[in-house]
Each structure stands twice: as C-alpha cells, then as structure tokens.
Amino acid sequence: MSTLSPDLALPDLGLAVAPAAVGGNGEVRDYLALLKPRVMSLVVFTALVGMLVVHPAVNPIIAGSALLMIAVGAGASGCLNMWWDADIDAVMTRTRTRPIPAGRIHPDEALSIGLALSVGSVLALGLIANWLAAALLAGTIAFYVVVYSIGLKRWTDQNIVIGGLAGALPPVVADAAVTGRVGTESLVLCAVIFLWTPPHFWALALVKSSDYARAGIPMMPNVRGPDATRTRILLYTLVLVPFALLPVPLGFGGWLYGGVSLLAGAGMLALAVKVFAVRAGEEAGRVAMQLFGFSILYLFLLFAALLAEHGLGLFRAVPFL
C-alpha cells in the first residue's frame, strides 16, 4: 500500500521535455551528465577502498579494469534513472536543467545508452574478473533502476531507506571482483553507507520539500512531516556513528581510522542534534544544509582513512583484549 498522503497524489506530469529533445542536440558534457559523474566518483572511491581493505593478490591491471567497469555500471544506472525520471526532473528546480528535461538529449537515446552500458559493464566485469562480481553489479543496477527509481521513489517515504542499498553495494562488488567472494569487510562498509544514506538525503529533503511535493515524490518530510523527519535523522545518526567504529574491533580499521571515525562521528552527531532542536525559521534550513554538507565530508573521511591505512601503509592495529 502506498504511503502517499492525499496531498501528495502523483500528478499526471507526462514527459515534460523541450521540443528540441525530438532531434537531440546534446554536447559531450550533456552525455557525461547523464552518467551522474559526481555519483560515479563516490562509487569509484568506495569501491577502491572495498578492494584495498581485503589486500587482494590480484594483478593491478585486472583490479583497475574491474574498478572501471564498476564505474561504468554506476554511470549506466544514473543514465537509466535520468531516462525514467525525466518527467519529474522537468518540474523540480534543482533538476530541470538536466539534459533530457532541458531538451538536449532525447529520452530514447538515453535509454539506449543506459542499456548498452549496463550490459557492456556487466559482461566485461564477468570476463575481466569473475561472474560473481558481474552478477552483483547486474543486481545493483537492477535494484537502483527497477526497485528504487521505477518502484520505490514515487511510492513510499521509505524510498531512500530501501533504495539506499544500491549506493551501498559498490564495496561488495569490488570485493567480489578481486577475491571471488564477499567478505565481512565489504559487508560492513556496505552497511555504513546504507545507514548513512537516510540522514544524508533527509537533511536535503527538509530544505527541498516543496520541490519534491511539486513533483509528487513522497519524501519523508512531505509524508511524515518535518519534525518526524528530524527525529529519524537523529535516530539513524545514533546508530550510524557507533556502527562506523566496527572496522576497528574487526581488525581492518586502525588507530587512524578509529580517531577519524570518533571525531567525525562526534561532528555528525552534534549536527543531527542541532537539526532535531532547531525546527523553525531560516536557521532550521541552514542547519539542515550544514548536516547535508558535513555528511558528505563524514563519509569521505571514513573511507579516506581506510584508504590511507591500507593503500599508503599507515595501518596500525588497535589491540583488543
């Protein structure tokens, strides 16, 4: 059953693209934008760390090629997401200039590119690395496009919670690509990203709630209200911060990671408390955007610390009794 409130009934928006989209006149940068390069960069970063923490005995060329195919798969997901969401992108302020709603790329062209990159990246990863990694990549693409974009995003306020799994899986895919299995390390990293996703996106949704409402997307603030969203942000952060310390007792997070996780986690928790406490006026919006911005830094610092420990030889284990 849908969790949409009566005020959030989905409008029949149609495919609101400009007339120029009929022929398509996109430039190189428009085709690159289809792949969501900022999301791709996060995928590559987290996947690289997922590889390094397991210290694989694999040829660097194979590892690098596998990483490239994971990035291409992420780009394919972004492209298919833009194809499906072109109608709602056209009515949202922050997305209306994307290539499809702006009329620079035809939707059918985006669909063809997305499908080709999806199939190509999965097959190439299977041939380069192994078919377990390929299957996981295929599942990640399908989950993001079919389960999240087509299914959850317009249906339930839990869209980000469940759909966040797609963005959390790259370390698992990378682990499988270089080891042929899925280990504890990559599963923990996946869980960290999964727990991080709701407070990160809900902080933005508090500020952009009118934009989401106009597009008929049932984000948490529009369905449950801003106060309930603030409560959930705090609760998720209270789980995330201690959970993110788990790599230390598990033995793949050292002193550097432990210190970074503690300090950055304290900052994340402090901002979540502030978002919970400040509920009105322009200050509420500013605090929410502060949390949104810091949450990106928080995740980066966690993975950068692991990258430094396992990629630069800075790992020093924390002894446990």
**pLDDT per residue over 103-115, tens digit each?**
999 999 999 999 9
Q: Is the pLDDT of residue 208 over 60?
A: yes
User: Is residue 37 exposed (0-12), middle (13-18) or buried (19+ Cβ within 10 Å)?
Assistant: middle
| pLDDT band, very low/low/confident/very high, at 6 (cuts 50, 70, 90) | very low
- Contact between 133 and 68 under an 8 Å Cβ cutoff? The reply is no
Instruction: Tell me the pLDDT band of 13, cut-offs 50, 70 and 90.
Output: very low
User: Can you tell me the mean pLDDT for 290-318?
Assistant: 96
Query: How many CB atoms are closer than 10 A to CB 251?
Result: 13
Q: How far apart are CA 117 and CA 81, in angstroms?
A: 13
Q: Distance between the two ends of the chain, CA-based, in angstroms?
A: 49
> Distances in Å between the alpha carbon of 295 and those of 66, 153, 271, 299?
28, 22, 9, 6
9: pLDDT strictly greater than 50: no
Compute the distance between CA of residue 259 and CA of residue 163 in angstroms, rounded to an integer: 30
What pLDDT band is residue 22 in, cutting at 50, 70 and 90? very low
Looking at residue 56, what is its pLDDT? 82
All structural domains of the chain, each given as residue ranges with its CATH number in brackets, are 1-7+27-182 (1.10.357.140), 183-321 (1.20.120)
**Sign of the CA dihedral 238, 282, 212, 24?**
negative
pLDDT of residue 179: 95
Q: Can you give the pLDDT at residue 24?
A: 61
Give mean pLDDT, residues 170-188.
97
Tell me: the pLDDT tens digits for 75-86?
999 999 999 999
Confidence of residue 55 (pLDDT cuts 50, 70, 90): confident
Q: How many residues does the chain have?
A: 321
Q: What is the C-alpha separation between 271 and 285, in angstroms, rounded?
A: 12
For tokens 């990258």, the residue is 307
Sign, CA torsion 179/189/221/40: negative
Residue with tokens 């995003």: 153
Helices 159-168 and 37-52, axial angle in degrees (round to 10): 60
Backbone region of residue 217 per phi and psi (left: phi > 0; alpha: psi in -120 to 50; beta: other values): beta
**What is the rounded average pLDDT for all residues in the chain?**
91
Does 12 score more than 50 pLDDT? no
CA quadruple 236, 209, 190, 301: dihedral sign: negative
| Model confidence band, residue 17 (pLDDT cutoffs 50, 70, 90) | very low
Q: Please say if the pLDDT value at position 1 is more than 60.
A: no
Mean pLDDT across the stretch 293-298? 97
Tokens representing residue 242 in the block: 């201690």
- Interatomic CA distance for residues 183 and 187, integer angstroms: 7
Cα angle: 285, vertex 287, 288; to 5 degrees: 65
Contact between residue 185 and residue 53 where contact means Cβ atoms under 8 Å apart? yes
Confidence of residue 58 (pLDDT cuts 50, 70, 90): confident
Q: How far apart are CA 292 and CA 290, in angstroms?
A: 5
Q: What is the sign of the dihedral through the CA atoms of 299, 203, 167 and 80?
A: negative
Residue 272 has pLDDT above 80, yes or no: yes
Based on its alpha-carbon atoms, the radius of gyration of the chain, rounded to whole angstroms, reads 20
Q: What is the DSSP letter of 9?
A: P
Give the CA distances from residue 141 to residues 12, 15, 144, 261, in Å, rounded to whole numbers and listed in that order: 27, 23, 5, 30
For 276-287, write each residue's pLDDT tens digit.
Answer: 999 998 999 999
